[in-house]
Amino acid sequence: MSERLFDEIPSLDLADFTSGDPQKKQAFVDALGEAYNNIGFVAIKNHGLTDEQTAHLYDTIQKFFSLSDEVKTRYEIPELAGQRGYIGKGKEHAKGRTTGDLKEFYHVGQHVIDNDPIRDQYPDNIWPEELPALEQIGLKVYKTLESAGIKMLQAIALYLGLDEHYFDNKVHNGNSILRPIHYFPIENPEAVPADAVRAAEHGDINLITLLMGASADGLQVLRKDNKWISITALPDQVVVNVGDMLQRLTNNKLKSTIHRVVNPPRELMKTSRYSIPFFMHPRSEMDLSCLENCIDGDNPKQYDDITAGEFLNQRLAEIGLKK
């Protein structure tokens, strides 16, 4: 696989993978593999989300975040370690930091509709009574992105030399999270800590992340040569990146690229920014031990064996959501 420095993230069409044309499908798998080896991010079109669904969800979450802090905190349940409902301003920080990010967010989790006993492992979703629309559109977008994520993982499995459906049962009713985020306005930039940013540099915890278009610039990824490049996706695309679980499973073959959301110029600090990532997690019992075909003399095993649930708990403590 060639080393390549991307100036922007590659754009791919998921319809090529699902077209039934073996050549288009293989070309998609090859291009995805090259991108995930090198920069860890791609922009995908034909993912299943409609413009109307995206606009509806963004409109709904903007209404929620415009509610008073007193109302929003009714939906914050500390004992859930931030896994459902509202998580207040500055509560989360990047691994290795103590300064909280300049954001607040809301978590929508898995909604099990079959008789899977894993239902008992998940807390119920929390829905704000002020915005009944959030439940309907939130679950619709959750399932749409989950479906796109399954197809992405099928392509990743083929690239790794695994059965195309290797991940299917591992992510069925997985512990995935839809996270609407509000990077709130800073009325007095001098009053926040000097090192506070909207989202400090970090890798995502999960297998893959699917990001619905953010409402403003600011997302950057760290290239292999340590240069930060800006990520901009077209309105009809979602950005899909590798998370730490997939990097660990593949023994660093696929890259969980460090990324961040930088503060805007000072004159724009008084404006809001919104984004909605979908963090695709497997079931907690999934074994994240390095795949045998990703270990060789040139790349010896880099990680201890661990389950997805154990890894998640470890990381939630590291980022300040779990005590």
Q: Would you state the structure tokens that stand for residue 60, as one six-digit string?
A: 């709904």
Contacts (Cβ under 8 Å, ≥6 apart) of 307: 284, 285, 286, 287, 288
Counting beta carbons within 10 angstroms of the beta carbon of residue 82, is it exposed (0 to 12), middle (13 to 18) or buried (19 or more)?
buried
Could you tell me if 249 and 140 are in contact, meaning their C-beta atoms sit under 8 angstroms apart?
Answer: no
Q: Would you state the structure tokens that stand for residue 12, as one six-digit string?
A: 């791919």
Domain residue limits, the chain: 11-318
Q: Would you state the structure tokens that stand for residue 298, as one six-digit string?
A: 């040139």
User: Which fold would CATH assign to domain 11-318?
Assistant: Jelly Rolls (2.60.120)
Q: How far apart, in whole angstroms, are the C-alpha atoms of residue 223 and residue 6? A: 8
Counting beta carbons within 10 angstroms of the beta carbon of residue 232, is it exposed (0 to 12), middle (13 to 18) or buried (19 or more)?
middle
Q: Residue 190: pLDDT band by 50, 70, 90 thresholds?
A: low
119-139 pLDDT, tens digit each: 999 999 999 999 999 999 999
pLDDT higher at 225 or 282: 282
Question: How confident is the model over 257-278, as a mean pLDDT?
Answer: 81
Q: What is the 3-state secondary structure (H, E, C) of 127-167?
A: CCCCCCHHHHHHHHHHHHHHHHHHHHHHHHHHHCCCCCCCC
Q: Residue 183: pLDDT band by 50, 70, 90 thresholds?
A: confident
Could you tell me if 6 and 35 are in contact, meaning their C-beta atoms sit under 8 angstroms apart?
Answer: yes
Residue 71, pLDDT > 50, answer yes
pLDDT higher at 271 or 289: 289
Q: Give the per-residue pLDDT at 101.
A: 72
Residue 95, pLDDT > 70, answer no
Contacts (Cβ under 8 Å, ≥6 apart) of 169: none
> pTM for the whole thing?
0.91
Q: How far apart, in whole angstroms, are the C-alpha atoms of residue 266 and residue 262? A: 11
232-241 pLDDT, tens digit each: 777 789 999 9
Residue 193, pLDDT > 70, answer no
243 alpha carbon, distance to own chain's centre: 8
Q: Give the per-residue pLDDT at 295.
A: 95
244 sits in which H/E element? helix 244-249
